[in-house]
Amino acid sequence: MQVTININGQPVSRDVEPRTLLVHFIRDTPGLTGTHWGCDTSNCGACVVLMDGKPVKSCTALAAMCEGHEIRTVESLEVNDRLDPVQEGFHEMHALQCGFCTPGMLMTARALLDTNPDPTEQEIRTAISGGICRCTGYKNIVAAVRWAADHQNGAHQEA
Protein backbone atom coordinates (compact mmCIF):
# COMPACT_ATOMS: atom_id res chain seq x y z
CA MET A 1 0.00 0.00 0.00
CA GLN A 2 1.10 3.55 -0.72
CA VAL A 3 1.80 5.58 2.41
CA THR A 4 2.79 9.22 2.62
CA ILE A 5 4.14 10.55 5.88
CA ASN A 6 5.52 13.97 6.56
CA ILE A 7 8.90 13.41 8.16
CA ASN A 8 10.82 16.41 9.42
CA GLY A 9 8.84 18.69 7.12
CA GLN A 10 9.29 16.59 3.99
CA PRO A 11 6.58 14.32 2.56
CA VAL A 12 7.93 10.78 2.20
CA SER A 13 5.99 8.37 0.00
CA ARG A 14 6.54 4.64 -0.34
CA ASP A 15 4.73 1.44 -1.23
CA VAL A 16 4.87 -0.69 1.92
CA GLU A 17 3.44 -3.85 3.34
CA PRO A 18 0.59 -3.05 5.73
CA ARG A 19 2.60 -4.52 8.59
CA THR A 20 5.56 -2.19 8.11
CA LEU A 21 6.47 -0.51 11.37
CA LEU A 22 6.95 3.21 11.51
CA VAL A 23 10.47 2.76 12.88
CA HIS A 24 11.43 0.71 9.82
CA PHE A 25 9.76 3.18 7.47
CA ILE A 26 11.74 6.04 8.96
CA ARG A 27 15.02 4.15 8.96
CA ASP A 28 14.63 2.61 5.47
CA THR A 29 13.01 5.16 3.24
CA PRO A 30 14.56 8.49 4.06
CA GLY A 31 17.46 6.60 5.70
CA LEU A 32 17.11 8.48 8.95
CA THR A 33 18.94 5.98 11.16
CA GLY A 34 19.01 8.20 14.22
CA THR A 35 15.76 6.59 15.36
CA HIS A 36 16.73 3.27 16.94
CA TRP A 37 15.00 -0.01 17.59
CA GLY A 38 15.68 -1.72 20.92
CA CYS A 39 13.02 -4.05 22.24
CA ASP A 40 9.86 -4.95 20.21
CA THR A 41 7.59 -4.38 23.20
CA SER A 42 7.32 -0.61 23.68
CA ASN A 43 9.46 -0.75 26.79
CA CYS A 44 12.80 0.80 25.90
CA GLY A 45 11.94 4.06 24.14
CA ALA A 46 14.96 4.08 21.82
CA CYS A 47 12.49 4.54 18.95
CA VAL A 48 10.62 7.58 20.29
CA VAL A 49 9.71 10.18 17.67
CA LEU A 50 7.22 13.02 17.82
CA MET A 51 3.90 12.53 16.05
CA ASP A 52 2.07 15.81 15.75
CA GLY A 53 4.21 17.04 18.63
CA LYS A 54 3.57 14.13 20.95
CA PRO A 55 6.17 11.45 21.76
CA VAL A 56 5.27 8.02 20.36
CA LYS A 57 7.15 4.74 20.17
CA SER A 58 7.71 4.17 16.49
CA CYS A 59 8.20 0.41 16.98
CA THR A 60 4.56 0.19 18.02
CA ALA A 61 3.01 2.27 15.27
CA LEU A 62 2.35 0.96 11.78
CA ALA A 63 3.56 3.21 9.03
CA ALA A 64 0.08 3.00 7.54
CA MET A 65 -1.39 4.55 10.69
CA CYS A 66 0.80 7.61 10.23
CA GLU A 67 -0.54 8.61 6.81
CA GLY A 68 -0.95 12.35 6.83
CA HIS A 69 0.68 12.86 10.21
CA GLU A 70 3.69 14.99 11.02
CA ILE A 71 6.65 13.01 12.33
CA ARG A 72 9.74 14.61 13.85
CA THR A 73 12.92 12.65 14.45
CA VAL A 74 16.18 13.45 16.19
CA GLU A 75 17.62 14.62 12.89
CA SER A 76 15.23 17.60 12.95
CA LEU A 77 16.46 19.03 16.25
CA GLU A 78 19.41 20.91 14.86
CA VAL A 79 18.23 23.80 12.68
CA ASN A 80 20.59 25.91 10.58
CA ASP A 81 23.63 24.56 12.44
CA ARG A 82 22.01 25.54 15.72
CA LEU A 83 21.59 22.76 18.22
CA ASP A 84 18.41 22.38 20.19
CA PRO A 85 18.95 23.20 23.88
CA VAL A 86 18.20 19.56 24.76
CA GLN A 87 21.08 18.47 22.53
CA GLU A 88 23.36 21.00 24.16
CA GLY A 89 22.18 19.95 27.60
CA PHE A 90 22.98 16.29 26.96
CA HIS A 91 26.50 17.27 25.90
CA GLU A 92 27.01 19.71 28.76
CA MET A 93 25.83 17.35 31.48
CA HIS A 94 27.31 14.09 30.12
CA ALA A 95 23.84 12.63 29.71
CA LEU A 96 24.88 9.98 27.20
CA GLN A 97 27.45 7.24 26.97
CA CYS A 98 26.84 4.62 24.28
CA GLY A 99 24.34 6.99 22.66
CA PHE A 100 21.82 4.34 21.67
CA CYS A 101 18.93 5.60 23.83
CA THR A 102 19.88 9.22 23.23
CA PRO A 103 17.64 10.02 20.24
CA GLY A 104 14.57 8.71 22.05
CA MET A 105 15.50 10.55 25.22
CA LEU A 106 16.13 13.78 23.30
CA MET A 107 12.75 13.64 21.57
CA THR A 108 11.01 12.85 24.84
CA ALA A 109 12.75 15.76 26.51
CA ARG A 110 11.84 18.07 23.63
CA ALA A 111 8.17 17.11 23.96
CA LEU A 112 8.26 17.65 27.70
CA LEU A 113 9.76 21.11 27.43
CA ASP A 114 7.32 22.06 24.68
CA THR A 115 4.43 21.49 27.09
CA ASN A 116 6.16 22.18 30.38
CA PRO A 117 9.08 24.61 30.00
CA ASP A 118 9.95 24.57 33.70
CA PRO A 119 9.68 20.96 34.89
CA THR A 120 10.59 19.72 38.36
CA GLU A 121 12.99 16.81 38.83
CA GLN A 122 10.05 14.49 39.45
CA GLU A 123 8.26 15.69 36.30
CA ILE A 124 11.41 15.05 34.27
CA ARG A 125 11.82 11.59 35.75
CA THR A 126 8.20 10.75 35.00
CA ALA A 127 8.49 12.08 31.44
CA ILE A 128 11.55 9.96 30.60
CA SER A 129 10.33 6.87 32.45
CA GLY A 130 9.02 5.39 29.21
CA GLY A 131 12.62 4.95 28.13
CA ILE A 132 15.48 2.79 29.29
CA CYS A 133 19.08 3.92 29.50
CA ARG A 134 21.57 1.24 30.47
CA CYS A 135 24.55 3.58 30.78
CA THR A 136 23.81 6.76 32.70
CA GLY A 137 21.59 5.82 35.62
CA TYR A 138 19.42 8.75 34.46
CA LYS A 139 20.99 11.24 36.89
CA ASN A 140 22.73 13.22 34.19
CA ILE A 141 19.77 12.94 31.81
CA VAL A 142 17.61 14.61 34.43
CA ALA A 143 20.28 17.27 34.84
CA ALA A 144 20.53 17.72 31.07
CA VAL A 145 16.80 18.28 30.65
CA ARG A 146 16.91 20.77 33.49
CA TRP A 147 19.88 22.46 31.80
CA ALA A 148 17.86 22.73 28.61
CA ALA A 149 14.94 24.21 30.55
CA ASP A 150 17.28 26.85 31.90
CA HIS A 151 18.70 27.61 28.46
CA GLN A 152 15.64 27.48 26.26
CA ASN A 153 17.04 30.10 23.94
CA GLY A 154 20.33 28.30 23.68
CA ALA A 155 23.48 29.29 25.47
CA HIS A 156 26.56 28.33 23.57
CA GLN A 157 27.14 26.46 20.37
CA GLU A 158 30.12 24.35 20.93
CA ALA A 159 29.12 20.75 20.41
Partner 1 sequence: MATTVENLPSREHERPVGFGRLKRKEDARFIRGKGNYLDDIRLPGMLHGAVLRSPFAHAKINSIDTSAALAQPNVAAVITAKDLETLGLAWMPTISYDTQAVLAGDKVRFQGQEVAFVIATDEYSARDALQLIDVDYDPLPAVVNARMALDQDAPLIRDDKEGQADNLASPTWEAGDDEATERAFAEADTVVARDIIYPRCHPAPLETCGMIADFNPETGQLDIYNGNQAPHAHRTVYAHVAGLAEHKIRIICNDIGGGFGNKVPVYPGYVCAIAGSIVAGKPVKWIEDRSENLMSTGFARDYLMRAEICSKDGRITGLRVDAIADHGAFDSTAQPTKFPAGFFHIVCGSYDLQASHVKVKAVYTNKAPGGVAYRCSFRITEAVYLVERMVDALAMEMKVDPIELRMRSFIRPDQFPYETTTGWTYDSGNYAETMKVAMEMAGYDDLRREQAEKRARGELMGIGVSFFTEGVGAGPRKHMDILGLAMNDGADLRVHPSGKAVVSISAQPQGQGHETTFAQIVAEELGIPPEDVEVRHGDTDKAPYGLGTYGSRSTPVSGGAVALVSRKVRDKARLIAATMLETRPEDLAWEKGRWYVKGDPEKGVLIEDIAARAYSGQPLPEGMEGGLDAQMIYDPPNLTYPYGAYIAVVDIDPETAEVKVRRFIAVDDCGVRINPMVVEGQIHGGLAEGVGIALMEVITFDDDGNCLNGSFMDYLIPTALECPDFEVGETVTPCPHHPLGAKGVGESPNVGSPPAIVNAVIDALHETHGVDQIDMPCTPARVWAAMQGRPEPPQ
Shortest distance (Å) from residue 97 CB to partner 1: 4
Shortest distance (Å) from residue 4 CB to partner 1: 21
3-state secondary structure of 59: coil
Shortest distance (Å) from residue 121 CB to partner 1: 7
38 belongs to the binding site for partner 1 (CB under 8 A): yes
40 belongs to the binding site for partner 1 (CB under 8 A): yes
- Residues 159, 96 contacting (CB under 8 angstroms): no
Q: Which amino acid is at 133?
A: C
Dist CA 80 CA 10 (whole Å): 16
Backbone angles phi, psi at 42, to 5 degrees: 65, 20
Q: Which is nearer to partner 1, 40 or 68 (CB)?
A: 40
Handedness of CA 87, 146, 91, 125 (dihedral sign): negative
138 belongs to the binding site for partner 1 (CB under 8 A): yes
**Radius of gyration of the CA atoms of the chain, in A:** 15
Shortest distance (Å) from residue 146 CB to partner 1: 12
Judged by the rule CB under 8 A, the positions of this chain that interact with partner 1 are: 17, 19, 27, 32-41, 43-44, 46, 73-75, 77-78, 83, 87, 90-92, 94, 96-103, 106, 121, 124-126, 128-142, 158-159
